[in-house]
Amino acid sequence: MADQIRVRFAPSPTGFLHVGGARTALYNWLLARRTGGVFVLRIEDTDRERSSGEMTQAILDGMTWLGLNWDEGPVHQADGLERHKGEVGRLLAAGSAYRCFCTPEELQARRDIMKEEYRYDRRCAAIPADESARRAESGERFAVRFRVPEGDTAWDDEVHGETRFKNESIEDFIILRTDGTPIYNLAVVSDDIDMRITHVIRGDDHIANTPKQILLYQAMGAAVPRFAHLPMILGPDGKRLSKRHGATAVGQYAEQGILPQAMNNFLALLGWNAGDDVEVMTMTELTERFSLDRVNKKSAVFDTAKLEWMNGQHIALMPAEELLPLVTPHLVRDGLLTEDEVQARREPLLALMTELRIRGRTTLEIAAQARTYLVDEVEAYDEASTAKHWKNAEETSQRLQAVHDALAAVEPWTTEGIDAALRGTAETLGVGLGKVAQPLRVALVGQAASPGIDFVVHTLGRDRTLHRIVRARERIAGV
Binding residues: 243
Closest CA to 202 of 31, 49, 429, 439: 31
Instruction: For residue 85, indicate whether it is catalytic.
Output: no
Annotated binding site for ATP: 243
Is residue 122 left, alpha or beta, with left meaning phi > 0 and alpha meaning psi from -120 to 50? left
d(CA 440, CA 406): 13
Count of C-beta atoms within a 10 Å radius of residue 184: 16
Instruction: Spell out the residues 6+ positions from residue 8 whose beta carbon is closer than 8 angstroms to its own.
Output: 28, 39, 40, 41, 42, 192, 195, 197, 200
> Of 85, 166, 243, 388, which one is the catalytic site residue?
243
- In DSSP terms, which residues pair with 75 in a beta bridge? 42
* Catalytic annotation, residues: 243
